[in-house]
Structure 1
Amino acid sequence: MMDALLWVLSGLLIVAGVAGTVLPALPGTALVLAGILLGAWIDDFTRIGWLAVTSVSILAVASWVLDYIAGLIGARRAGASRLAVIGAAIGTVAGIFMGFVGVLFLPLVGAAVGEWLARRDQQRAMRVGIATWVGLMVGMVAKVALAFVMIGVFVVALLV
């Protein structure tokens, strides 16, 4: 009975983690990793061994690094100011409260407003906002892909 509840918790953590890959309020791949680690622990690391756990952990770390770097690369490529990066961060947090559309587009707005406040150039502000947004979206897509690879490693280890 207890194992069944723990497996349900493992599954819920993984599902919440997948949601967290697109919702900045949830630590996406960290929750996926927690669910996988719980699943491995429940099974006493017999089917989901240390190789799978290590592989999934490396993928989780890669996801965190990629998520951080992707937005910065987009912003830096467009020559974003410090205010643009801060604006994108504020837009990301504000987007949480605006639903899925807010999560998708408020980072762009925040970066553009921050750049406009820094340099008062509307065209540059839009270019920086779009470049920052593209970087964030590339990071989000990569995070989702890595989360599914993590889940794939878990499922294969569980079934083989």
Structure 2
Amino acid sequence: MDISVPLYLLAGLLVAIGLAGVVLPALPGLPLVFAGLLTAAWADDFQRVGAMPLVVLGLLTAVSFAVDFWATAVGAKRVGASPLALLGTVVGTFVGLFFGLPGLFAGPFVGAVVGELISRRTLYPAGLGHAAKVGIGTWLGIALGVALKLALAVSMLAIFAFAWWF
């Protein structure tokens, strides 16, 4: 029996789940995309996609981790977020997973706001306004990270396709 067909199916599944994971924080998006592309190359005994394209794809996957942290930190730092606001973003993102799509959008924002309010220990209008600003800045940083990771995913697919057909 030819094992390449199940491997190609597995590769396609990994890439599809990985692409969803670029947007959904619970899934390791680009590492799954990389695993799928590596599986597809393996199914072909690395005849069409060799070591050099795979190294580049691996490096782009590593860059995705830095992009995640950098984008969130940039969004938060630009608005003066406290370390507790960043922790709140992580907790809010995790809790938001249990509330579906609305939770994925609202969770990081609410977590950042709550973290900032705890850090500042004030609910006065100025404190609440600053916390909301931190929440928005953090959320925009996450959105920037998703956009950059989508660009990386498209780049990875293009590099793989180029190596496969040329």
TM-score by length of 2: 0.92
Taking the aligned partners of 1:80 and 1:15, their CA distance within structure 2 comes to 34
Who is 2:142 aligned against? 136
* Cα RMSD, aligned residues only: 1.0
Q: Deviation digits for residues 55-100 of structure 1, max 9, x if unmatched?
A: 1111111111101111011111211111111110011111111112
Q: After TM superposition, list the pairs within 5 Å mapping 1:1-160 onto structure 2.
A: 1-119=2-120, 120=122, 121-160=127-166
Q: Deviation digits for residues 81-121 of structure 1, max 9, x if unmatched?
A: 11111110011111111112211221011101110121121
- Runs of 4+ in structure 1 off by over 4 angstroms are none
Q: State the SS of the aligned residue for 1:24.
A: coil
Q: State the SS of the aligned residue for 1:97.
A: helix
Q: Deviation digits for residues 13-47 of structure 1, max 9, x if unmatched?
A: 00000000011111000000001111111112111
Taking the aligned partners of 2:102 and 2:49, their CA distance within structure 1 comes to 37
In structure 1, give the amino acid aligned to 2:113. Answer: A
Q: Report the structure number with the largest CA radius of gyration.
A: 2
In structure 1, give the amino acid aligned to 2:109. Answer: L
Structure 1: gaps spanning 5 or more residues: none
User: Bigger shift: 18-27 or 73-82?
Assistant: 73-82
Aligned length: 160
Taking the aligned partners of 1:145 and 1:36, their CA distance within structure 2 comes to 16
TM-score by length of 1: 0.96
Conservation of the 8 A alpha-carbon contact between 2:76 and 2:86: yes
Structure 2: gaps spanning 5 or more residues: none
